[in-house]
Copies of this chain bind each other. A is one copy, B any other.
Amino acid sequence: MPHAFDALADPRRRAMLEALAVQERSVGELAELLALRQPATSKHLAVLRDAGLVADRHEGRRRIYRLVPEPLVEVDDWLTPFREAWSRRFDALAAHLDAMEDP
Within 8 A of B (CB), among A4-33: 5-6, 8-9, 11, 14, 17-18, 21
Q: Is the CB of B21 within 8 A of A81?
A: yes
Q: Is the CB of B18 within 8 A of A14?
A: no
Q: Is the CB of B85 within 8 A of A21?
A: yes
Within 8 A of B (CB), among A72-98: 72-73, 75-76, 78-79, 81-86, 89
Contacts of A76 in B (CB 8 A): 76, 79, 83
> In the complex, what residue of chain B is closest to A86 when comparing beta carbons?
B69
Contacts of A75 in B (CB 8 A): 75, 79
**Sample (28) of A-B pairs whose CB atoms are under 8 Å apart:** A3-B11, A5-B8, A5-B9, A6-B9, A8-B8, A14-B78, A17-B82, A18-B81, A21-B81, A21-B82, A21-B84, A67-B82, A67-B85, A69-B82, A69-B85, A69-B86, A69-B89, A70-B89, A72-B79, A72-B82, A72-B86, A73-B86, A75-B75, A75-B79, A76-B76, A76-B79, A76-B83, A79-B79
